[in-house]
Amino acid sequence: MNDIPAAKIKMMKSSIRCLIFGMLALLPVIGLPFGLAALWIAGRVRLKEKIYWNAAKPYRVYGVVCAAVGTILGTGILGVAVVRALAMAYG
């Protein structure tokens, strides 16, 4: 029974970490790994939210949104760069 407060504190800290990593995911060049990490952390927190109430749920949600946008944009920029490099190499 004493483990419940510790689990909730860990879950809230992970939600804040998800937000921070999600915001770092918006950085153009180095954001992709942070976005993937934020999405991973959010998934783990989401599993714990099924058991305990998370006071920091808005932080997790904002972190997921930032991470998703950053990951999609980062992957798109990386894809364009690869296609352009291949076109220049073989063009």
9-65 pLDDT tens trace: 999 999 999 999 999 999 988 999 999 999 999 999 999 999 999 999 999 999 999
5 and 21 Cβ atoms separated by less than 8 Å: no
Strands (E) across the chain are located at: none
What pLDDT does 59 receive?
Answer: 97
Nearest to 81 by CA among 39, 32, 35: 32
What pLDDT does 3 receive?
Answer: 85
Q: Quote the number of domains for the chain.
A: 1
Range of the domain at 10: 3-90
Count of residues in the chain:
91
Residue 91 clears pLDDT 90, i.e. is over it = no
What pLDDT does 1 receive?
Answer: 57
Pick 21 or 7 by higher pLDDT.
21
